Amino acid sequence: MKIFETKESIAVFSDRNDGDLNFYNFNSEQINTKWESLTSKLPIKVSLAKYVNQVHKSDIVQVTKDDTFPNSSVNADGLITNISQKAIGVFTADCCPVLISSKKSVSATHAGWKSTCQSICSKTVKKHQEIFGTKPSEMTAFIGPCIGKCCFELGDEVYEKFIGENKEWSKFFSKKGKWHLDLRGLNRFQLEEAGIPNNQIIDLDECTYCLQDKYFSYRRMKKHNGSMFSFIFLK
């Protein structure tokens, strides 16, 4: 587990040592037990995080004080809130988790290649601005572990899809038989383009595929994988 604490928030990235945290696969008692174990090291006690049914698109859900939706009944790939001690999180096992913190609001984003191609990180920054009036210069972004450029192979059709959206994104691809995508690099680029200063973007810069003892990997484990959970909350 990696914990980042700012004046206003706590951001957490789990790893394989924290166990499989794909809550979809467990009953409520098992989920609560895993959550209690995961958060036992935190300086603040926080209730079970809100999460959504991730569908590899770019919708972002606002979590309010009175939200009533069951955790997995909403289709989205990002969550945002301004409620204190209301944890929100995303599941990953190669995709890129991005957590954003500010004085007014926090967000959790699941950025796989499909969501990245739809500029989900840029859209998340804009949501902070539109809903809460938070300026990008006031935000700190944390990029968690994901599959690295070393291991992330994609076909020509995926490359063409990205270039069709933005030709400038070609610099995040290299050709080694198949196309290799720098997923974390492109998401960092989108965060910077949206206005978050470079020195306010913290990147763990670890490859989930390479580090088999530390992280679950969807591609390496041929779908028979567990899941990490990345979450954030305002104090």
Task: Report how far residue 12's alpha carbon sits from residue 233's, in angstroms, rounded to the nearest whole number.
Answer: 9
pLDDT on residue 23: 94
End-to-end CA distance of the chain: 19
Could you give the percent of the chain with pLDDT greater than 70?
Answer: 100
Number of C-beta neighbours around residue 98 at 10 A? 33
pLDDT on residue 56: 97
Taking residues 64-90, report their average pLDDT. Answer: 91
Q: Indicate the range of 50-54, 99-103, 117-121, 219-223 predicted with least confidence.
A: 219-223
Number of C-beta neighbours around residue 4 at 10 A? 17
Taking residues 141-152, report their average pLDDT. Answer: 98
More confident residue, 89 or 45: 89
pLDDT on residue 224: 76
Residue burial 156-170, b: 16+ Cβ < 10 Å; e: rest: eebbeebeeeeeebe
* Domains of the chain with bracketed CATH: 2-147+195-234 (3.60.140.10)
Number of C-beta neighbours around residue 221 at 10 A? 15
pLDDT on residue 223: 72
In this model, does residue 146 exceed pLDDT 80? yes
Which residues are paired to 10 by β-bridges?
A: 5, 233
Residue 28 CB-density burial (10 A; 0-12 exposed, 13-18 middle, 19+ buried)? exposed
pLDDT on residue 222: 85
Q: For residue 200, what pLDDT band results from cuts at 50, 70 and 90?
A: very high
51 Cβ contact list (under 8 Å, min separation 6):
23, 71, 72, 79, 88, 89, 90, 91, 229
